Amino acid sequence: MLPEAPPPEPPTRAAALRPRNAATLILIDRTRRTPKILMGRRHPGLAFMAGKFVFPGGRIEPADRHMPVAGALSGRANDALAQRVPRGAEGLGRALALAAIRETYEETGLMLGTRAYGPPETAPAGSWSAFRGAGVLPDLEALHLVARAVTPPGRVRRFDTRFFAADRTTIAHTVPDVVSADSELVELAWVTFAEARRLDLPRITGVVLDDLEIQVRGGFAPYLPIPYYYERSGKRLREVL
């Protein structure tokens, strides 16, 4: 008699992908009656959000914690950035704001900041050294926190993203030819809110557009809500920070 076959092993569950801290920057042109926002189309060959129109952004890098700045984030933004984060995350909000500025430069060639105080005395190696070379000091006072969103489980990439906004007038320097057919963003466009909603957008980008429009109409007043979007047990949730 043949021995009884052992029972099959239970299927192993893939380890949950932990979201990485990231930041996005939405540039707004309010020089005319109808505001416009800057959006970029991602390369169609990318693994994450291929071909979608998004705001420039990405995850924090270690150098973002060491770049000198001009001005500070508002108290309202700092308070919201400090919520729902693990202990020992001091300086996270500042680093997120700087990540948003750096990623915007890397993806679009646009440097946000000021030349009013002279160039940074020091700068970490890499992209931040370009700010020093251009005499631009990042200005965190110009940034407004609009929303926070965590990529749902099951995606090939997961980010805990903070969405900042800044006026187009905060662009202090532009490096040409950063956007091309071979770069992360293959196209840039200044579009109205109505035009943006007709683009091929990730779901969360469309949601944040609504939040941004409320903020713009309200002049980024400190009493306006800063929503936090995440998913739990398959249910989409929204809190206010």
Among residues of the chain, what percentage have pLDDT more than 70? 93
Residues 130-182 have pLDDT tens digits of 999 999 999 999 999 999 999 988 777 889 999 999 999 999 999 999 998 88
Beta-carbon contacts of 178 under 8 Å, excluding residues fewer than 6 positions away, are 106, 107, 108, 109
10-residue mean pLDDT profile of the chain (241 residues): values are 48 64 96 95 84 93 95 94 85 96 96 95 95 96 96 85 97 94 92 96 94 95 95 92 93
Contact 30, 166 (CB under 8 A): no
3-state secondary structure of 218: coil
User: What pLDDT is recorded for position 13?
Assistant: 44
User: What pLDDT is recorded for position 89?
Assistant: 78
